[in-house]
């Protein structure tokens, strides 16, 4: 995780100006939240919301724009500083805290109406059970948790610049991290000094079991044959903003969501 943090620290300034993040449009009022998330989370106005692994705060502040009282947490200090600047620029009130998700309770001793996380966060975490424990402890009785994420089955397939089809390469049940070495980032072609990252695959069953072990009630689980970014080179973006496979479309899930609730 220290290797990953160095990568994220360096990536932040590139992402802040990356066209795919489109900060200028956000400052003009655009939300970065997908309709699936908005429906899945339900009513947020007036509620306290904790966003884990918030990066530089676009999604967090989009929830604030919908009326939530937001707190964002990330292990990258440059990301937190950028999020705080963005909060001031957008005039959207928010609290941003610098912390590894596993160490959250060293800096925050509160419970929230809502906990949100998603869109590319789970593969950066080595321990799903500790992650679920943080969620369980952070929710008030009756509080809701929502996740929208890449489907872990997509982690099984080879994914490099020359990939032209779905070719299994990694284990869905892999226990060891996958090491990647890339020149740029998923959002920027800028050459990175820190090139190496590590990622973990967490099967759907593991995530659901970890949440249940914390006493959360699973309210809904959905799988989708499209996703929020160009995961494979042979994907195309539709008019609806979702990325789909050009080969084997609708054959595998590429994204999934879960909503859970802490009993009152």
- 161 pLDDT more than 90: no
The average pLDDT across 96-118 equals: 97
What is the sign, positive or negative, of the torsion defined by CA atoms of 97, 219, 45, 36? positive
Beta strands in the chain (DSSP E): 48-52, 69-74, 95-98, 112-118, 139-150, 178-181, 196-199, 217-224, 235-237, 243-245, 255-261
According to the model, what pLDDT value does residue 162 have?
Answer: 86
Q: 64 in helix, strand or coil?
A: helix
Reply yes or no on whether the pLDDT at 157 is more than 90.
yes
Q: Is the pLDDT of residue 184 over 90?
A: no
Separation of alpha carbons 97 and 83, rounded Å: 10
Look at residue 48 in the predicted model and tell me its pLDDT. Answer: 98
User: How far apart are the C-alpha atoms of 137 and 160, rounded to whole Å?
Assistant: 38
C-beta of residue 98 within 8 angstroms of C-beta of residue 75: yes
Average pLDDT over residues 144-154: 97
7-58, pLDDT tens digit by residue? 999 999 999 999 999 999 999 999 999 999 999 999 999 999 999 999 999 9
Query: What is the value of pTM for the model shown?
Result: 0.95
Rg (CA), the chain: 18
The structural domains of the chain, ordered by start, are: 2-261 (3.40.50.150)
> How far is it, in rounded angstroms, from Cα 62 to Cα 83?
12
| Mean pLDDT of the residues in the chain | 95
Q: Using an 8 Å Cβ cutoff, are 224 and 144 in contact?
A: no
Nearest to 5 by CA among 110, 124, 130, 120: 124
Condensed to tens digits (0 to 9), the pLDDT of residues 207-230 reads 999 999 999 999 999 999 999 999
Q: Is the pLDDT of residue 174 over 90?
A: no
């Amino acid at each position: 995780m220290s290797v990953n943090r160095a990568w994220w620290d360096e990536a932040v300034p590139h992402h802040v100006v990356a066209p795919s993040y489109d900060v200028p449009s956000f400052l003009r009022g655009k939300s970065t939240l997908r309709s699936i998330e908005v429906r899945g989370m339900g009513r947020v106005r007036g509620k306290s919301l904790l966003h884990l692994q918030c990066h530089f705060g676009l999604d967090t502040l989009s929830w604030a724009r919908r009326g939530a009282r937001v707190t964002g947490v990330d292990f990258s200090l440059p990301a937190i500083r950028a999020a705080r600047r963005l909060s001031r620029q957008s005039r959207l009130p928010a609290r941003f805290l610098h912390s590894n998700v596993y160490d959250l309770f060293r800096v925050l001793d509160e419970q929230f109406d809502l906990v949100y996380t998603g869109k590319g966060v789970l593969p950066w975490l080595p321990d799903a059970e500790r992650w679920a424990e943080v969620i369980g402890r952070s929710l008030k009785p009756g509080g809701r948790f929502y996740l929208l994420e890449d489907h872990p089955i997509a982690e099984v397939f080879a994914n490099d610049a020359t990939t032209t089809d779905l070719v299994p390469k990694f284990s869905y049940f892999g226990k060891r991290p996958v090491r990647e070495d890339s020149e740029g980032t998923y959002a920027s072609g800028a050459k990175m000094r820190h090139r190496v990252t590590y990622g973990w695959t967490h099967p759907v069953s593991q995530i659901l079991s970890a949440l249940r072990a914390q006493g959360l009630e699973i309210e809904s689980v959905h799988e989708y044959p499209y996703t929020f970014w160009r995961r494979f080179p042979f994907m195309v973006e539709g008019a609806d903003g979702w990325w789909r496979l050009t080969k084997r479309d609708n054959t595998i899930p590429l994204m999934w969501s879960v909503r859970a609730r802490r009993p009152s």
